[in-house]
Amino acid sequence: MPRAVVLLSGGLDSAVTAAIARSQGRELFALSVDYGQRHRHELEAARRVAQSLAVRDHVIVPVDLSRFGRSALTGQYEVPKDRPADEMASGIPVTYVPARNTVFLALALGYAEALSAADIFLGVNAVDYSGYPDCRPEFIAAFQRLANLATKAGVQGQLDFQIHTPLAGLTKAQIIRRGLELGVDFGLTHSCYDPDPAGRPCARCDSCLLRLKGFAEAGLKDPLEYKAES
């Protein structure tokens, strides 16, 4: 089986991405990054998802991006709540972490080259949420080009690195339906940017709102227990 590296955040999107990679006959190697995110419950979720998908190996690399500052996700700003959909769809939010996906893909590239894996899977999604510059197709294409210039295996023609983003054209509802078809247990995932100490999602941050909207549009109930429900 050809090997693939999957960036696994513990969220819904990366879980479905990993399930798609497996359904395409790849042997999965998962990579998660402990980057100082305030929603650290997602790393526990990544472990659960990795286990449920029987990945061959799961590496969690600590890289403290909060040292650089400037993001709500690493604690420098408040996580925005209750934003209307049109506001979420315009502009880059304060949850943007400088160069985050560049760092994640760079680490995935090192891991992939060491494993002789040509394929890297990333769960970015441009339809429901286009605010982050490092989720756009032009960024992904530029990274793929870089990957083949940056590496011994790329330059010597042993591997042709491909960055796969199978969710890029899907709505959140479509992602959820695809995940269910592939047997993803969404109860294992974590999407909230600002959970309570027990890890329960807030139901009010952008990530919760998009997730709940996706389940509603898919005509399904999110298996997670939300803080606001209690």
Q: What are the residues binding its own copies (CB under 8 A)?
A: 59, 61-65, 67-70, 92, 96-103, 105-107, 109-111, 113-115, 133-134, 136, 138-139, 142-143, 145-147, 149-152, 154-156
Q: Given the complex with its own copies, which of 61 and 180 has the nearer CB atom?
A: 61
Q: Given the complex with its own copies, which of 34 and 217 has the nearer CB atom?
A: 34
What is the nearest approach in angstroms of its own copies to the Cβ of residue 189? 24
| Contact by Cβ (8 Å): 204, 198 | no
Q: Given the complex with its own copies, which of 117 and 203 has the nearer CB atom?
A: 117
- Please report the beta strands in 38-138, taking only residues with DSSP state E, as ranges in sequence order: 57-62, 119-121
| Contact by Cβ (8 Å): 112, 120 | yes
Q: Given the complex with its own copies, which of 150 and 220 has the nearer CB atom?
A: 150
The interaxial angle of helices 41-52 and 12-23, nearest 10 deg, is 20
| Contact by Cβ (8 Å): 195, 79 | no
What is the nearest approach in angstroms of its own copies to the Cβ of residue 140? 9
What is the nearest approach in angstroms of its own copies to the Cβ of residue 133? 4
| Contact by Cβ (8 Å): 210, 173 | no
